[in-house]
Structure 1
Amino acid sequence: MYTRLYRHGVLEKEGFPISEVSDYVTDPDNTVWFDLCCPTPEELGALGEELGLHELAVEDVVSERQRPKVDIYDNHLFITVYGIHLDTGRLDPVEVDVFVTANALVTIRENAGFDIDEVVRRWDAARPLAGHGVAYLLHGLLDYVVDSHLDYVEDLDARVDELEESLFEEAGQAGTRELQRTIYTMRRNAAVFRKIALPMREVIGALLRRQRNLVMDPVMLPYFYDVYDHALRVDQWIESLRDLMANLRETRMAQQGFRLNEIMKRLTGWAAVIAVPTAITGFYGMNVPYPGVGRPWGFWLSSVLVAVSSVALYMEFKKRDWL
């Protein structure tokens, strides 16, 4: 659990019990932040009574996997965003619900996979802005979320480039399976990421359009527009990557079809090479009289026919690139 108290833009206290929050929020000169990780329904109910939160917003916290959004109530905002968390290479986003009142910010994390310490470090790095109250805290949180999205999509772009280069390299069966597994995992991660990243543009845009519902100093507006610009960049980037990964999949399927055709062509060529000697030996193996039967030159004649026809077929198929 994390708690902080700012007064006139100066950090005065941290690490105090949540039970003291109600004493501090009554003073408009104070700005309070506290964080809960995996709270119980009872804790959420007490929190709602403490800050006068709308019951529908509290229910949304309990409900799993809300879409990123902004809900505006009479005395507070309710915001849902998602942080990036990777579990053995698979994207497993962490839901973070945020309550914003006139002088309090409450963050509720689904689990510890969201690095709240990095958010705190960003606040500390921008302390000159702390005098702008809740808007300062909210900006630091959203800035970290969108920047983590930007870092992830940049890493995804680099991995797509690596796959494009390795797609045409020869690999064994194990390498082929690993490549297919990698492409599948990346496409799944991109689909999950798209669901949590694209709505961020709407979230930040709603905050900018409805400034009267958020106690925001005009000085903070350029900072929120900067976060909005990053969200737009993520939006455009993930859409282009989506097309690239679709092309990767289609190229891989075309490669597999081409490879199958090559295999079938070579098998057919070898079958033709084997078929002619089989026909010759079958003819000389008949138990009826034929030229050279019972004589040595008959054996040598059949052997020469097998060798010449096999070599001739092999050279012809090789010339046509069938073998």
Structure 2
Amino acid sequence: MSNQAVRGQIWHKGEPVDGFELEKVSDCIDDPDRLVWADLINPTHDTMTRLAEELSLNKWAVEDALAASERVKATAYAKHTFVTVYAVAFDAPTATTGDEAVDAAAARIRFERISLFIVHNALITVRLTEGGGDRGDSEYSDVFDMDEVLRRWDEIGGQDYGVGALLHGLLDVVVDGHFDTVQQLDDAIEDLEELLFDEKVASRALQRRTYSLRKNLVALRRVVLPMREVVSLIQRKRHELGHGDTLEPEFTDLYDHVLRVTEWTESLRDMVTTVFETNLSLQDARLNTVMKQLTAWAAIIAVPTAITGFYGQNVPFPGFEHTGGFITSVSLLVVSMTVLYLLFKRRDWL
């Protein structure tokens, strides 16, 4: 069942035009005084086919926009530019101490794929959200705020810069979402580092949580790293996209943010690997301590066993069948065990 929704706006000389119909987009894309934005949420294949015919969109780009999965990319076609990016949000663990707390809430990254068709003075966004469109799965969830894009577009005076400013606002919101997710992952890894030396937390629970964070980082890395090529292509085509050199500082700053997110993600992957290896090392250290303790106690117990075994032979010994002999043997046991205990304790074996 489809959850299709269509919204949008047309501006004429910087002023919004009342009413929006998707069928009117093709009538406005050749008018330099107009700016068009259309947002399609979970569109059906028929809707995208009609739109592709009206705007002469590449059929492979349309298929990519509706595909079950697609990588982050930017492709320049003859009559338009096609971009695919992912908005992300992170559900962080809700607790940080105790064995049950480690497993209380599994960390999970949620994705929303956004496909962009940039046609002259029009920006067409196609978003796939949870359970929508023809796909019917739940891989994606609604984590992207398009209203925030419009707000930032207004802040920089987007009416004066055209579709380039609108595109910048969208990518800026996406990259900020990447930043927030990386920050939360960083905090989650720091919490995990503190749990490493908590004796109350089971190592198996730590391993599960470490694996979950590492899995999320791998998923985030797949959508963050290609963003460099996306922003680079848009910068190279800035004149064709209508913003020329006017928005160059904004796109340069955006590219810098993308690089910072990429580097941060790589460093976090190294950190979570270090946490995993440290946990294994601590397990080995704890096992060695247990083995030393068991060995020490076995040595202590071996002394009375040897003495009683010797006295248990059918050989008369001094004090045999007398109270003095019993006291002597018991004293020998206690003194030997005490000496061994103090010796092992001094060497930190117990």
What TM-score, normalized to structure 1? 0.91
- Within a 5 Å distance, the mapping from 1:6-17 to structure 2 comes to 6-13=11-18, 16-17=20-21
Match of 2:171 in 1: 142
- Where 1:211 maps in the other structure, the secondary structure is coil
Deviates more, 1:72-81 or 1:208-217: 208-217
Match of 1:306 among 326, 333, 341: 333
Q: How does 1:115-264 map to 2 (within 5 A)?
A: 115-126=145-156, 128-168=157-197, 170-174=198-202, 176-264=203-291
1:102 aligns with 2:132: no
Cα distance in 2 for partners of 1:219, 1:39 equals 34
User: What is the CA deviation profile of residues 50-84 of structure 1, one whole-angstrom value per residue up to 9, with x for unaligned ones?
Assistant: 21100010111122322111111111110000111
Q: 2:302 aligns with which of 251, 259, 275?
A: 275
- Aligned residue in 1 for 2:9: 4
Identity of aligned residues (%): 46
Does the 8 Å CA contact 1:72/1:213 hold for their aligned counterparts? no
In 2: Cα distance, 1:315 partner to 1:181 partner = 40
* Alpha-carbon shift at residue 141 of structure 1 (Å): 0.4
How far, CA to CA, are the matches of 1:210 and 1:116 in structure 2?
A: 24
Q: What is the alpha-carbon distance in structure 2 between the residues aligned to residue 321 and residue 80 of structure 1?
A: 60
- Please say if 1:93 is aligned against 2:111: yes
Q: Which amino acid aligns with 1:35?
A: D
Q: CA deviation at 1:264?
A: 0.9
Aligned residue in 2 for 1:73: 77
Q: Which letter does structure 1 place at the counterpart of 2:122?
A: A
Instruction: Write out per-residue CA displacement over residues 248-278 of structure 1, whole angstroms, 9 at most, x where no aligned residue.
Output: 2222221111111111111111111111112
- TM-score, normalization by structure 2: 0.85
Q: In 2 relative to 1, CA 120–210 (structure 1 residues): closer, same or farther, beyond 3 Å?
A: closer
| Alpha-carbon shift at residue 287 of structure 1 (Å) | 4.3
Q: Using the TM superposition, give the Cα deviation of residue 116 of structure 1 relative to its aligned residue in structure 2, in angstroms.
A: 2.1
- Give the match's secondary structure for 1:92: strand
Report how far residue 178 of structure 1 moved.
4.0
How far did residue 166 of structure 1 move? 4.1
Give the whole-Å Cα distance in 2 for the aligned partners of 1:212 and 1:20: 25
Q: Contact 2:30–2:120 at 8 Å: present in 1 too?
A: no
CA deviation map 1:186-228 (0-9, x unaligned): 2111111111111111110111123344333321222111111
1:123–1:183 CA distance, 2 compared to 1 (3 A)? same
Contact 1:198 1:235 in 2 (8 A): yes
- Partners of 2:88 and 2:109 within 8 A in 1: yes
Alpha carbons of 1:173 and 1:156: their partners in 2 closer, same or farther (altered >3 Å)? closer
Aligned partners of 1:34, 1:72: CA distance in 2, in Å? 20
More helix by proportion, 1 or 2? Answer: 1
Of residues 208-217 and 91-100 in structure 1, the stretch that sits farther from structure 2 once superposed is: 208-217
Cα RMSD (Å) of the superposition? 2.0
1:30 correspondence with 2:37: no
Aligned to 1:49: 53
Instruction: Name the count of aligned residue pairs.
Output: 319
| Aligned residue identity for 1:132 | Y
Report the AA paired with residue 294 of structure 2.
L
